């Protein structure tokens, strides 16, 4: 027996009362057996989408997937309530039908839950429960205990039907900390090229899900070892062949390994920031040169890297916002973290990176440092973080000064003209290099001093 939430039991009861059969299936059943919290329950039923729609007032038809979504609300519900979750109800899939479901109108539905489960990807995702019995024809529960991802049926055939399943195998293995069984893994290694036929959007969604996991770095290595990386991120795959060992240099890893290590130690949970950390040195592949002394250089690699990031973001169809963040982080990751820099140098760094990206850039640099590319010690990065904060509290431009042209004209008794701008400029320079604080009293006093000098 499996304890389902009451919201799931209500869905099951409603369909059963109309003489349909229905089971909870997929990720949520898997998670619940493992004892981990879950949401977004999936159901498979003998009811057609139209029949399901008519039974649930809060449901809608997502034609793209032939799935009916049911909005789940928490009680008490008011007219302003937003759904707390969406459950998805799909009609049993037929053995004759190809799961990708491009033509839902022409579909022939399956008759039984067993037929439906045979169309699912992995044994641990092919467990069904209606709250009373568990249907598990492929040993999914056993594989959950063994922490094993194994294709339902012949892995070769299943990956040829839908190549995205190969990425799903790696993603779910990374998510759960599982191994992929030998035959399934070999089938991935033998068919990874088929991912070329899969749409950018589906690949992006799986990749971004994977990036968010704590052990994403292991997932990237697994993709490399199975040949998936070569298809979806060939730029990164090539980086494993670029060494960085030089006399008197700190680098011990090749560029690819360093990239993965940087991701491993990146403290951000944002998949875009983590992707940027993974790709920050991607420009080193094109720029690597060995000078006569045997020193390896990557001159301007961040410029090439930004260009590669634009290309990768375009290929993966990232949103404009995500693309901008990714490219900015890669483009400017080489800034020098030296707390002795002048305020205006620090201000220039802030302007380039953008205040909204500063914390993310520091996360990238922390990953970079801990991942073996150490450019600075941790105390240096902390001091730099303090400088960033300090400098941001100070004015960025003359218009941020706590006095303006009217104050200058009044105190100096001058008419509008170039003198006013010159005085404000002098004040700004002193505030910027820390000789004067940006407080109204202090600035007024300073202007008054100027008047004395002028009249003396
Ligand atoms: P999660 O929701 O935690 O990401 P999930 O296993 O629920 O993981 P979904 O993408 O929500 O993944 O898919 C729900 C279920 O549909 C899966 O558990 C699996 O049974 C089935 N499924 C999804 N994608 C495929 C596919 N490409 N081929 C075969 N079955 C699939
Ligand atoms: Mg799911």
Compute the average pLDDT of residues 221-226.
98
pLDDT tier at 159 (50, 70, 90 boundaries)?
A: very high
Contact 305, 394 (CB under 8 A): no
Structural contact between residues 315 and 200, judged by C-beta atoms closer than 8 angstroms: yes
The confidence score (pLDDT) of residue 157 equals 95
Distance 310 CA to ligand 1 centre (A): 30
Contact call for residues 170 and 212 (beta carbons, < 8 A): no
Which ligand ends up closest to the CA of 65? 1
| β-bridge pairing 134-135 and 67-72 | unpaired
* Residue among 42, 69, 90 to mutate when testing ligand 1 (max atoms within 8 A of CB): 42
pLDDT digit string, tens, across residues 378-417: 888 889 999 999 888 876 678 888 899 999 999 999 999 9
pLDDT value for 101: 45
Task: Determine the Cα–Cα distance for residues 148 and 171; give it in Å rounded to an integer.
Answer: 13
176 C-alpha to center of ligand 1: Å?
Answer: 14
Looking at the CA of 44, which ligand is closest? 1
Are 268 and 274 in contact by the 8 Å Cβ rule? The answer is: yes
pLDDT digit string, tens, across residues 90-100? 999 886 655 44
Q: Are strands 85-91 and 42-45 parallel, antiparallel or unpaired?
A: parallel
pLDDT at position 102 over 50:
no
Beta bridge partners of 42: 25, 88
> Does residue 59 have a pLDDT over 70?
yes
Percent share of the chain, pLDDT over 70: 94
| Residue 120 CB less than 6 A away from ligand 1 | yes
Query: In sequence order, what are the beta bridge partners of 154?
Result: none
DSSP, res 373: I
**Domains, the chain, with CATH or none:** 6-146 (3.30.460.10), 156-232 (1.10.110.30), 239-391 (1.10.3210), 398-455 (1.10.246)
Which secondary structure element, helix H or strand E, spans residue 42, and what is its range?
strand 42-45
39 alpha carbon to ligand 2 midpoint, in Å?
A: 7
For residue 317, which of 153, 156, 202 has the smallest C-alpha distance?
202
Q: β-strands 134-135, 128-129: how paired?
A: antiparallel
Distance CA 66, CA 107 (A): 9
Task: Provide the pLDDT for residue 394.
Answer: 74
Has residue 375 got a pLDDT over 80?
A: no
The ligand whose atoms approach the alpha carbon of 87 most closely is 2
Phi–psi pair at 30, nearest 5 degrees: -55, -50
Q: Where does residue 78 rank: exposed (0-12), middle (13-18), buried (19+ CB within 10 A)? A: exposed
140 Cβ closer than 6 Å to some ligand 1 atom: no
Residue with tokens 């104050």: 407
**pLDDT at residue 103 above 70?**
no
Ligand nearest to the CA of 158: 1
Q: How far apart are CA 173 and CA 219, in angstroms?
A: 8
Q: Which 3-state string (H, E, C) describes 131-155?
A: CCCEECCCCHHHHHHHCEECECCCH
Q: How many other CB atoms sit within 10 Å of the CB of residue 455?
A: 8
Does any ligand 1 atom lie closer than 6 A to the CB of residue 125?
A: yes
Nearest Cα residue to atom 15 of ligand 1:
26
Q: Whose CA is nearest to atom 7 of ligand 1?
A: 27
pLDDT in tens, 120-129: 999 999 999 9
Instruction: Please give the biggest Cα pair distance in the chain.
Output: 101
Chain mean pLDDT for the chain? 92
Average pLDDT over every residue of 22-45? 96
Instruction: Tell how far the Cα of 180 is from the centroid of ligand 2, in angstroms.
Output: 20
Would you state the structure tokens that stand for residue 12, as one six-digit string?
Answer: 């099951």
> Does 153 contact ligand 1 (Cβ within 6 A)?
no
Q: What span, in angstroms and rounded, lies between the C-alpha atoms of 90 and 68?
A: 6
Q: Is the CB of 116 under 6 A from ligand 1?
A: no
Using 50, 70 and 90 to split pLDDT, how confident is the model at 290?
A: confident
Please give the backbone phi and psi of residue 135, each rounded to the nearest 5 degrees, phi first.
-105, 120
C-beta separation of 338 from 345 below 8 A: no
Nearest alpha-carbon partner for 131 in 39, 36, 37, 41: 41
* Per-residue confidence (pLDDT) for residue 97, from 0 to 100: 58
Q: Separation of 155 CA from ligand 1 center, angstroms?
A: 16
- Residue 162 in contact with ligand 1 by CB distance below 6 A: yes
**Ligand 1 centroid, distance to 91 Cα (angstroms):** 15
Average pLDDT over residues 103-131: 88
Distance from C-alpha of 391 to C-alpha of 395, rounded to nearest angstrom: 8
In ligand 1, the atom with minimum distance to the C-alpha of 28 is 7
Q: What is the mean pLDDT of residues 208-232?
A: 98
Query: Does ligand 1 have an atom closer than 6 angstroms to the CB of 128?
Result: no
Quick check: 106 and 94 in contact, CB under 8 A? no
State the average pLDDT over residues 333-347. 85
pTM of the full predicted structure? 0.84
pLDDT at 295: 85
CA of 58 to the centre of ligand 1 (A): 23
Q: Is the pLDDT of residue 355 over 70?
A: yes
Q: Please check the confidence at residue 144 and state whether its pLDDT lies above 60.
A: yes
Is the CB of residue 97 below 6 angstroms from any atom belonging to ligand 1? no
Ligand number nearest CA of 43 is 1
Q: Count Cβ atoms below 10 Å from residue 222 Cβ, excluding itself.
A: 22
Does 160 sit in the ligand 1 pocket, CB within 6 Å? no
Q: What is the rounded distance in angstroms from the CA atom of residue 304 to the CA atom of residue 239?
A: 13
Q: In ligand 1, which atom is closest to the CA atom of 164?
A: 27
Measured in residues, the chain has a length of 456
Q: Considering only 28-37, 89-98, 251-260, which range has the smallest mean pLDDT?
A: 89-98
pLDDT score at 66: 75
User: Which of 158-162, 202-206, 253-257, 294-298 is the least confident region?
Assistant: 294-298
User: What is the model's pLDDT at position 76?
Assistant: 86
Residue with the bigger pLDDT between 78 and 456: it is 78
Least confident of 33-42, 84-93, 233-242, 393-402: 393-402
Question: Contact 316/234 with Cβ under 8 angstroms?
Answer: no
Secondary structure (3-state) at 289: strand
Question: Whose CA is closest to 450, among 422, 431, 415, 418?
Answer: 422
The answer to whether 108 touches 96, Cβ cutoff 8 Å, is: yes
The answer, yes or no, to whether the previous bond of 76 is cis (omega within 30 of 0) is yes
Distance 54 CA to ligand 1 centre (A): 25
Cβ(11)–Cβ(110) below 8 Å: no
Are the CB atoms for 204 and 244 separated by under 8 Å?
A: no
**CA of 77 relative to ligand 1 center, distance in Å:** 30
What confidence category does residue 305 fall into, taking pLDDT thresholds of 50, 70 and 90? very high
Other C-beta atoms lying within 10 Å of the C-beta of residue 265? 16
Confidence of residue 437 (pLDDT cuts 50, 70, 90): confident
User: What is the CA(401)–ligand 2 centre distance, in A?
Assistant: 54
Q: Which ligand is nearest to the CA of 163?
A: 1
Locate the ligand 1 atom nearest the alpha carbon of residue 161 and give its number: 28
Residue 108: its pLDDT value, please?
76
């Amino acid at each position: 027996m499996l304890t389902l939430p009451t919201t799931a039991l209500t869905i099951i009861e409603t369909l059963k009362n109309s003489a349909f059969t229905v089971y909870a299936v997929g990720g949520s059943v898997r998670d619940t057996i493992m004892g981990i919290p879950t949401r977004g329950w999936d159901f498979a039923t003998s009811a057609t989408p139209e029949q399901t729609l008519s039974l649930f007032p809060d449901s809608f038809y997502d034609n793209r997937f032939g799935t009916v979504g049911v909005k789940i609300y928490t009680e008490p519900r008011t007219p302003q309530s937003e759904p707390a979750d969406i459950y998805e109800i799909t009609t049993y899939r037929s053995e004759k039908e190809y799961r990708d479901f491009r033509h839902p109108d022409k579909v022939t539905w399956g008759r039984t839950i067993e037929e439906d489960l045979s169309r699912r990807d992995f044994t641990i995702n092919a467990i069904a429960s209606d709250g009373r019995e568990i249907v598990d024809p492929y040993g999914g529960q056993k594989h959950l205990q063994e922490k094993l991802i194994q294709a339902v049926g012949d892995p070769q055939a299943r990956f040829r039907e839908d190549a995205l399943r190969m990425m799903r195998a790696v993603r779910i293995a990374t998510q759960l900390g599982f191994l992929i069984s030998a035959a399934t893994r070999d089938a991935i290694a033998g068919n990874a090229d088929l991912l070329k036929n899969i749409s950018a959007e589906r690949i992006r969604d799986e990749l971004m899900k994977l990036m968010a996991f704590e052990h994403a770095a292991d997932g990237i290595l697994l993709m490399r070892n199975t040949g998936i990386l070569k298809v979806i991120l060939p730029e990164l795959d090539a980086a494993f062949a670029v060494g960085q060992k030089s006399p008197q240099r700190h680098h011990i890893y090749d560029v690819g390994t360093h990239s993965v290590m940087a991701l491993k130690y990146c403290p951000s949970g944002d998949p875009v920031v983590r992707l940027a950390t993974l790709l920050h040195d991607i420009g080193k592949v094109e720029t690597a040169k060995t000078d006569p002394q045997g020193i390896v250089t990557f001159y301007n690699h961040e410029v090439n890297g930004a260009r590669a990031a634009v290309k990768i973001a375009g290929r993966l169809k990232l949103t404009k916002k995500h693309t901008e963040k990714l490219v900015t982080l890669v483009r400017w990751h080489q800034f020098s973290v030296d707390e002795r820099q002048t305020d205006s140098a620090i201000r220039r760094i802030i302007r380039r990176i953008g205040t909204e990206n500063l914390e993310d850039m520091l996360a990238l640099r922390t990953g970079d440092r801990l991942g073996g590319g150490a450019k600075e010690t941790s105390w240096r990065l902390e001091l730099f973080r303090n400088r960033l904060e300090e400098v941001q509290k100070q004015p960025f431009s003359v218009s941020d000064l706590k006095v303006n042209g009217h104050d200058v004209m009044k105190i100096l008794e001058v008419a509008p003209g170039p003198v006013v701008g010159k005085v404000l400029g002098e004040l700004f320079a002193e505030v910027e290099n820390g000789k004067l604080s940006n407080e109204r009293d202090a600035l007024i006093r300073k202007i008054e001093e100027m008047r004395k000098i002028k009249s003396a």
